[in-house]
Amino acid sequence: MRRPSSLPRLAALGLLAIAAAAIASPTAAPGQNTTAPPAAQSPATAAAPEWKSASLGNIFDAGGAPAELTLRPNAAAESVTWKVYDFWHQQVAAGTAAIKDGAAVIRPGVTAVGYYLLSATPVKDGAPPQDVYTSFAIVRPHKTKDPLASPFGVMTHFAQGMNPAMLDTFKRIGIESIRDEHYWAQVEREKGVYLFPEKSDAYMEACRRAGIAPLIAMTFGNKLYDHPEGPTTPEGFAGYANYGEAILKKYGPEVRWLEIWNEYNGTWAPPAAKKNLVARYTTYTAMLKASYEKIKAVRPDVQVLGGAAVLIPLPYFEGIFKLGGLQYMDGIVIHPYRGTPEGVDKEVAELKDLMRKYNNGKDKPIWVTETGRHTKDEYDWERGRKMYEKGRAEGARYLARQYTLLLKEGCAKIYWYLASDHATFVSMGLLRHHHKEASGMGEYAVAPAYVAYANLIHHLDGAVFSKREAWREYTRAHVCLFTRGNGANAEQIRVAWATQPARITVKPAPGARLTAANLMGTDVTLTPGPDGTYVLDLTQDPIYLRGEAQSVAELDTGIRVLASLQDDYTKTQGGNNWFYGYTEAGGPFTELSQVETMWGYNWGGVKGAKNLSVSQGSAHPEIVGGKPLDAVYRWRSPVTGRLTLRGAFTNSGKGDGVHTRILLDGKELHNAQAGGKASVRAEFEVTTDVAKDQCIDFTINAGAGTAFDATSVEVMILDAK
């Protein structure tokens, strides 16, 4: 969550190919196929275009009125030639529209569910003066049977001026809840006097009309109590609790859920609480207790959500639990930001185990009140246009996988961050920005994540996770079985993808019919082989399989996996042949120690190097006294042979980036920049001869500065034979 003062967030932060089936989706990698959109001309020389449509965001219903968009090119032209590309940049339509009264009406004629990019080129005297882009989508409207029980939500910033007009756009695809705020400092400017801003009343009324339930986060500090950054005394805690009571009195039954603070273990805490981990959870628990008791005295039915954590920080949570904090919350809040979704389910499972330890073996609901992905990556063809189609496409893939894994663990609510782009967080929105949209694509133009979300809700609303299928050691395939309904009418839905190419077989139940939909929702009827079995190739784009199956298995492709950084991670040096440490200015490798931090259990503990850390799939380098301390994952080979090292370093992209290297006994095999002026994701595949007991180091160097240098690391080591 962004604070209104514009302080930056501090967060550590497959396309389906089916044998014997003709599928409209492309087989080339996104952005690499021959029919990719044309290279964009420099926006500096182009007059600002104006796009309009009858539907906010250029979003149209499947089976409803045909898609229609109007372009005012703001340039002398007689006609507009246009082309439409799908999510994978395959051209699906083209045409010409005459310009009349300064505007061209474009009717793409596309009817299939999905996300589309429209490229339009105004033409005068046969010459194109410029090209312009917008996006549109065709989605299935979705009506939720039990809206209050729905897990699907989105974070808005109506308290910061976002337009509530977008609410109907979310409701139409089954998003049933928003998360927003009524800032304490704005509500109580005089002690004991509560006056809510007009924008608060406006968005609460808009939620009521749209039938969307608001989750209200009680944020942030108030200079009338203790410190502007937050309360720290009994008087301050009482003032904060009274502010919560004021929200309930003002908006009555419209408010069912209150969240106590936001990311208390991160940026948003008063100085007294930031001294150390103990101060954090001690101060927070006292504030939580005072708030819970006040809120329950006024409205026992209101659910009070506690924890207020960014990431899933077990040491911080355990501190709260030891102080009895679980009895003062009806649900626990996490913000599991991470470079890749895979592994988030394991972290949630660890949190559930910790809860049971302090709650007599019982669970409490887990609310994911923020999750999202921020990247400003661009394809070559869009360079400089600030469209960030590549980053947005990755966000769509991320959303489907992250939500599936969180639903697998039974999370009660999940709120995507963000409803529409924010100036600070461009590319995170389900919709683009409104009046500040810099790409020229038009206000609120739909982003791929919106369509991915619509498709996920369509398939998984009301479904319950049953089991993971096709599992084997070191598998990169994820096949998650969900069921909807009971008995003979139960429906099976599988979400399937792989972080490395994988192949599965699906044997349908007798008489059953198997169908599929890709990430963007396009339905595909599959054709089985002669024995009735379906063979599916999985990639990073999730697919949805519907129909009863009696078996699902991963095919052995002959690839032998020797190690996986994520799967093999332990809290013991040398466990599974992995070591966790650092090097100083290119010196020898030094092992780190296990430490408790605000973010979780990490490898660290170097004096004066507070940011140096290595954890499960994420590391942060440091600079001390001008000397670089590189974060290092080391693997000691238990075999002699020819090995392939495959994976990626993924940086936030908000700082100057990091420099990554792969070394074999000190000899460089590979180097790449991640973030900064380079892509945030630096993938690698290196094949080399390795002798038993030789060490392979995966290193991260801070470069010039350490801000935003938290970097996700994925590594698989395979037998290259």
Q: Which of 338, 404, 172 is nearest to 711 (CA)?
A: 338
Q: What pLDDT sits at residue 21?
A: 27
Per-residue model confidence as pLDDT tens digits over 574-586: 999 999 999 998 8
CB proximity list for 680: less than 8 A, separation 6 or greater: 375, 376, 377, 391, 650, 651, 652, 653, 657, 674
For helices 389-408 and 448-460, give the axis angle rounded to 10 degrees: 20
Asked if residue 75 has pLDDT above 90, the reply is no
Distance (Å, whole) CA 154 – CA 162: 13
CA 650 to chain centre: 14
Asked if residue 86 has pLDDT above 70, the reply is yes
Average the pLDDT over each of 22-31, 600-609, 625-634, 673-682 and give the range with the smallest value. Answer: 22-31
Distance (Å, whole) CA 340 – CA 338: 6
Mean pLDDT of 538-567: 93
Asked if residue 28 has pLDDT above 70, the reply is no
Distances (CA, A) of 249 to 31, 182, 259, 303: 53, 13, 16, 15
Mean pLDDT of 660-689: 96
Q: Would you list the DSSP string of 443-483?
A: TT-B-HHHHHHHHHHHHHTT-EEEEEES--TT--EEEEEEE
pLDDT band with cut points at 50, 70 and 90 for residue 627:
very high
Asked if residue 34 has pLDDT above 50, the reply is no
Per-residue model confidence as pLDDT tens digits over 173-195: 999 999 999 999 999 999 999 99
pLDDT band with cut points at 50, 70 and 90 for residue 9:
very low
Per-residue model confidence as pLDDT tens digits over 455-483: 999 999 999 999 999 988 888 899 999 99
Mean pLDDT of 650-664: 93
Q: Report all structural domains of the chain as residue ranges with CATH numbers, in order of start.
A: 46-139 (2.60.40.2550), 151-460 (3.20.20.80), 464-554 (2.60.40), 561-719 (2.60.120.680)
Average the pLDDT over each of 36-40, 217-221, 681-685 and give the range with the smallest value. Answer: 36-40
Asked if residue 250 has pLDDT above 80, the reply is yes
Find where tokens 């940086």 sit: 651
Q: Which of 288, 298, 142, 138 is nearest to 218 (CA)?
A: 288
Q: What is the pTM of this model?
A: 0.90
CB proximity list for 506: less than 8 A, separation 6 or greater: 494, 514, 533, 534, 536, 545, 549, 551, 552
CB proximity list for 567: less than 8 A, separation 6 or greater: 473, 474
pLDDT > 90 in the chain, percent: 82
